[in-house]
Amino acid sequence: MYSSMKITIFSCFYVVVITKVSAEYYCESAICDVTIEYCCGENKCCKKTVEVWYYWAVMLLVFIVLIIAACFYMKRLRNKYSSYSKLEQKFDEVITTQA
């Protein structure tokens, strides 16, 4: 029972650790997926992360454009209603003049 358990643990260790370590070091043999990886370090494939940078740059640009549009809209509303004056309601005078 313990020997089968040791074999299972060792095989899991082998699959997870040894395969991962050996799988990263294959750049010279041209096994890297060139669409998502590039050769870096000593015979190691690294993933490209440029796409993440583009996503956040676009999101920041959209946010800035929305803020600028909101500011222009608020300025337009302020200019539109600045020529109007508030009407004063004098309820006390209306009530006293009718009585």
pTM: 0.40
User: In the chain, what percentage of residues exceed pLDDT 90?
Assistant: 20
44: CB partners within 8 A, 6+ apart? 24, 25, 27
The strand ranges marked E within the chain are 37-40, 44-47
17 versus 96: which is more confidently predicted? 96
Question: What average pLDDT is seen over the chain?
Answer: 71
